[in-house]
Amino acid sequence: MPDTSSQPMPECHSLTGSLLMLIQFDVCEEIRLDRLRQIISAPAAAPAPLKHPTPSYIRYQRRPIVEAVAPFTPEGGERLSGEIKYYDYGVVSVVFQLPFSGDWDALIRLSGHWLWDVDLTSHARRIVDDSLKGAQPALIKKYPEFLSEDYFIFHVREAAGHPIADDLIRLYGNQIAQVVRGDTLPLSDGECQEVLQSRISYYPDDLAIIGWNAAFVYDTPVGAETAIQLLEYANSQLLEFRHYDELLSRELDTVYKSLEQGTGTLARWRMARSATRLYTVLLEVTELTERADNAIKFLSDMFAARLYKLAASKVGVPDYKDLVTQKIDTAENLYRFMVDQFNQSRAFFLESAVVIILIIELFYLFRGGRGF
């Protein structure tokens, strides 16, 4: 990390922008957006404008439905505006927004406060529960418990002197790293480098730095919209793969317990029910993962694809996707093993039945009878 202590600092350090707080819940297997739109009379979210004027664009297969929520003021905090988004693959996202202006120290304090000192999840959960009360006809297989994820986006739309991205990193790289980490104490050079290496720009005067639970975006409101939507989508994918991971873990645990009950004939017959259940879960997970993966398309927009890849890797989507893939492979191997065991048991039963019939026939034959 370059030593910024000897760099000349501009006299004015004012920043203007907004903090976006995303709290997402995995509520059901699928949301029928057409039915939900009839219930709440809400429009779908507008497509994200791109950084450059080309015919390519980001396209949702089914764009989420957006509904405004009442402004909210946390205890001792500032008034937050908000909205709720419904995605067809069963995720509901609550987005709170807080405008800010001030210097870098103020932004660092703001980050530390909202990332670690304020619990917005419980309030967001109440909003989701209230919103879903009337939306039951649109929900398919609602879950009894909701997994959740939160993420924070610090969008700076204006900075004093209008610095380009390279100057912003050179002059304020340490402060940006603190904002992304939510740490009010100065970070080591190594930690700052770790944070700042996850950056991406399209034009000289825009910048996005992605962390595992927060991001710093320096851009105009229109230009930042692509990054914001892709960060929200990446976190919703993380939530989905977390759900699939837990679902497969529970199912595999049930299968292992059934296998521990023994390998006798009756146990093998019980395997048939377990194998059928396991195969059903495999089909469901495969279908749902494909739906989540294909929910958004990047048509000829390589920058959006690169930005999504960076965001997904930082929040952990590939890690959970690999876990799910490994458990799917394990489940498929177990399914084949259980089917083979059942088939062997069935073949043994049929062979035993034939032998018994032959013994009975022979018994009557030696007694001079005529069989059956």
pLDDT at residue 372, rounded to an integer? 44
Q: What is the mean pLDDT of residues 99-112?
A: 95
**Angle 221-260/317-366 helices, nearest 10 degrees?**
30
Q: How high does pLDDT run on average in the chain?
A: 83
Confidence of residue 42 (pLDDT cuts 50, 70, 90): low
Per-residue pLDDT at 344 exceeds 80: no
Per-residue pLDDT at 36 exceeds 70: yes
Q: What is the mean pLDDT of residues 180-190?
A: 95
| Collapsed DSSP state (helix, strand, coil) of residue 108 | helix
Q: What phi, psi does 143 have (nearest 5°)?
A: -85, 145
Between 266 and 131, the more confident residue is 131
Per-residue pLDDT at 348 exceeds 70: no
User: What is the residue type of 275?
Assistant: A
Least confident piece of the model among 40-44, 50-54, 68-72, 240-244? 50-54
Confidence of residue 292 (pLDDT cuts 50, 70, 90): low
pLDDT at residue 77, rounded to an integer? 75
β-bridge partners, 102:
15
Highest averaged pLDDT of the listed ranges 76-90, 158-172, 255-269, 344-358: 158-172
Per-residue pLDDT at 47 exceeds 70: no
pLDDT at residue 341, rounded to an integer? 66
For the stretch 215-240, pLDDT in tens is 999 999 999 998 999 999 999 989 98
| Collapsed DSSP state (helix, strand, coil) of residue 297 | strand
pLDDT at residue 156, rounded to an integer? 97
For the stretch 109-145, pLDDT in tens is 999 999 998 889 999 999 999 999 989 999 999 999 9
Q: Could you give the C-alpha distances from 329 to 243, 248, 257, 279, 323, in angstroms and in order? A: 17, 11, 19, 12, 10
Q: Residues 135, 118: contact at Cβ < 8 Å?
A: no
pLDDT at residue 305, rounded to an integer? 86
Cβ atoms within 10 Å of 130's Cβ, excluding its own: 11
pTM of the complete model: 0.82
pLDDT at residue 352, rounded to an integer? 72
pLDDT at residue 316, rounded to an integer? 93
Per-residue pLDDT at 241 exceeds 80: yes
